[in-house]
Structure 1
Amino acid sequence: MIRASVLLVALFALLLQGCSNGDDFQNDRRRVEEALNALATNLVENRPADVAAYTERLGRHVESDPSFFGSAVALIDEAGSVIASPYVYRTDEGYSTKDLASPSYGIESQEWFTAPIAADAGVWSEPYFDAGGGEIWMITRSVPVRDSEGIFAVVTTDLEVDAPSR
């Protein structure tokens, strides 16, 4: 059991090396955690009026650090359903946006969405290929955003990683 755990940790570390070397990668993760917590707090204290305002804030967030590949906010209604999910991400030409709440993406079954709600805390995903989103291999930090009535959103930041070797 311990041997399998050690192998899993070693494999995860190898997958993440493509993002940057060890110390740089840990610094990237720390910066994501700090910036994402600040963004989540800001979304509670200064709640945007509409999806366009959320998208603008996400764009500023991604632009704030060159290691941030993308950022999304999944807005949740009183029934617990995602009503919109603007996503801002880097492209070769600059930035692009899309709404991840489209049925083809299946947002409500994505680990980056479900795990922070279940944990009621910020979580990191395992490396995954984000088909329908950023279309790259990434890891995602996700944080539930809560007001006095409960969780009203999940906000994320993505870091690009290398695809696992076969």
Structure 2
Amino acid sequence: MRPEEEAQFAVYVTARRDRVRRTAYLVCGDWHKADDLTQIAFVKLYGAWERIRDYAALDAYVRSCLMRAAIDESRRPWRREQSTDEVPDGPAAGTAGDVDDLADLVADRDLVRTALRRVPRGQRAMVVLRFYEGLSVSDVARAMDCSEGNVKSQTARGLAALRSALTELTQGAGLG
């Protein structure tokens, strides 16, 4: 790769790294895995950089690499382990009455992330691309290399699974 191309690549990665990492986190639910997926996506981009003709399509290409990497990684046997942030016998986090608006916002985000982790991976990817990334059905279909009908059905199932997980979590915590 020529030095000017290398500089263009570095500028692009610097500008997009955090957004790609956040998307990866929403897809996989773990910051360490998100870092790995982000790195895989950018390595694939680096390998293809000299062949890129349309720099306006870079975001779509990176998203596609990211989604494929997430699916590939989820198929590896050692990736099937589930980690947990809390020890089951630990004390309840926080007490009632000392919660301000910021804490409520953080708790809501945490609740949605926890529920999102319970959505099957493929459906989770569809929901994240549609509602976090704000992509159209056709853009998601291109990113996931599937039909628009598949995007619609998997998104509907993913939303139903997310709704069910949120209901289960809020009732289990006495919030609903």
Q: Same fold (TM over 0.5)?
A: no
Higher strand share: 1
Measured against the shorter chain, the TM-score band is under 0.3
Q: TM-score, normalised by structure 1?
A: 0.26
Pick the structure with greater CA Rg: 2
Q: Could you say which structure has the higher helix fraction? A: 2
